[in-house]
Chain A
Amino acid sequence: MSYLSTTDFAEDPAFVERFTRTMRGDLELAWMDASREKVRCTPQNERRGLTFRDLDVGGYGFTAMPELIRQNRSFAPRGAALPPGLPDLQAEVNRKSEVWAYNVEGYYEEAMTRQWNATTDIPWAELQEIDLPEDIGKAYAQLLTFLTEVEMIATDVPAKWLGRLNADFFEVKNFIATQAMDEARHAEIFRKRALSTGWGLMRASAHNEFNLKFLRDADTFAEASLALHLQAEGMVLTLFRFSEYISPTEGDKKLFRLVMQDEARHVGYGMQHLKWVLDHFPEKRELIHHHLDEAENFVFGGGYATEVLEPFIILSGKGLKKENVQEGIRITNAFQVKQTEEYFERLAKCGMPERRERSRLWKMLELNKDALGAA
């Protein structure tokens, strides 16, 4: 226990005396006298239910929230009375611009209704009946091993930041809590599928893990979000769609459709967060470029490592024969081009069209396009 109370309550006469009086019916009721803002919150759409957007009223709402949270340093929910003596929890993130995103409340509601279950929503028994050829089975198990590795860190990152955000960022905290749950479910389903192929978990990837460590160790939430939500998850979203495309069975296709839904929602938050930052703090543009320079270096090293690239080639070419491998390289190259183009499309939409010209990843894309043209 690193934190100890400065009071031993059982031995504190004033506390014990107040407790005894309360339990005898002598109520203090001071909390009832606090002057509070009375509001009426009703669902704008009854089919949708009572949403966070319906609660965006007065001092309880998020629209009126200031950029700097100076008052609330505690766990007090936004809008509650703050009596003297609340602890200072030393939240690390107290600027709205570091966490906020357009429509974050909508992403949360969507996340809550679109939860699914890795244990029961996949036709596991049906998948058990399908024997994959050895080369396909091993390549698929290796891809699933890589994805399990990725999703474990994708769980850790939002979970790490959750308690470091000021309590006033209620909607963001709830959203990244759903993200942690989503990613944990992804790690679960990839592990389950790897083991259910019969080939088990294959080899961890050092290059990939350096990239994951970079994501985990970001100095600020804004850096973590840029690298995780927008860049890494944007690329993983294209990867999930590609994985659905090359999946060997209908059950696997469903698996990838379910995970891509969650991933696309996280990317949506990342895009709307970056837009928010650039709209409100254009002076941060250069910092964002510097962070992306490093993030892109890691993602290139991780995403294109042997343990990742070769399974894609085998799965998309449908085998290890020479002609399969050649076809696999052609398809995988097309995927890489698509993945990179979509990443830069998103950045441009967020207000960074100049990123293409600065990026070494874009130069790699040009090489890939040349290779694709020559094939």
Chain B
Amino acid sequence: MSVTFPSLAFFQALQVAMRAEQERFSRLGFFDTTFGVRVLGDGDARDEFVLGFEVFDCVHVASGVDGRPLDFVVEGPFASWRDMLDNIHALGAADAAHSLNTLTHFGEGLQVRYDDPDGHDKMYRFAESIQEFLDLSARVDFQYPDGSRPPVPREKVRRTSA
């Protein structure tokens, strides 16, 4: 059944997909962080989610980030999130222009909000695990609020950004 991005059901689907990839995530190592996802809509509209990871698993998915202790929050307009998810869905994994680090590095597409630099650095301590978690969205059957869908998967063409 199709879920909608952004929604709690979308991130719960990613959580289920991660459970199905136990061996892959175990190989990447301990993954201990709790971070927020904030999707900005028009005006003051925003959708917020908390993703909690412990040992090798996604142990907590919830709506709303207020008052929760978070290492960092990845924030951006809906269009930037859609650009990333469309790319992942089409190619099976983010290409050179759409990795989370690339999109957030100068805050051009998405921004990283944090109070504690130690918490911020967890985004990099677990960079590959977070990227592979987001890449699992290629397997999720989802649509956007206006009913449109991400591009159909195609054979991944490795590209350079040079």
Contact = CB atoms under 8 A, between A and B. Distances in A.
Interface residues of B, number: 33
Given A45-B55, A114-B29, A261 B105 contact: no
Interface stretch (A32-40, A199-207, A237-245): A237-245
Chain A CB count within 10 A is highest, among B99, B117, B128, B161, for B117
A247 interface: yes
Contacts of A110: 29-30, 32, 125
A257 interface: yes
Contacts of B106: 245, 331, 334, 338
Contact of A47 (B57, B96, B102, B124): B57
Given A133-B162, A245-B106, A253-B102, A268 B125 contact: yes
Contacts of B128: 254, 257-258, 261
Interface in B92-133: 93-96, 99, 101-102, 105-106, 116-118, 121-122, 124-128, 131
B148 interface: no
A133 B93 CA distance: 25
B133 to A, nearest CB: 13
A328 B102 CA distance: 16
A130 B161 CA distance: 11
Contact of A257 (B127, B161, B162): B127
Interface string A255-289: 01110110111011001100000000000000000
A230 B162 CA distance: 32
Given A253-B102, A318-B162, A247 B96 contact: yes
Contacts of B127: 257-258, 260-261, 264
A43 to B, nearest CB: 11
A181 interface: no
B68 interface: no
A254 B127 CA distance: 9
Nearest to A46: B55
Contacts of A297: none
Contacts of B102: 244-245, 253
A261 B93 CA distance: 19
Contacts of B131: 257
A264 B122 contact: yes
A109 interface: yes
A240 B105 CA distance: 11
B35 interface: no
A47 B53 CA distance: 13
Contacts of A342: 117
A240 B121 CA distance: 12
A126 B96 contact: no
Nearest to B56: A47
Chain A CB count within 10 A is highest, among B56, B127, B158, for B127
A248 B127 CA distance: 18
Interface string A91-133: 0000000000000000001100111000000000010011011
A176 B32 CA distance: 21
A248 B124 contact: no
B28 A248 contact: no
A263 B123 CA distance: 12
Nearest to B28: A114
A249 B102 CA distance: 12
Interface in A321-338: 331, 334, 338
B30 A260 contact: no
Contacts of B32: 110
A136 interface: yes
B124 A249 contact: no
A186 to B, nearest CB: 14
Contact of B124 (A113, A264, A331, A338): A264
Smallest CB-CB A-B distances: 6 pairs: A114-B29, A113-B29, A264-B124, A248-B162, A264-B125, A245-B105
6 contacts: A110-B125, A245-B102, A249-B159, A250-B96, A257-B101, A261-B124
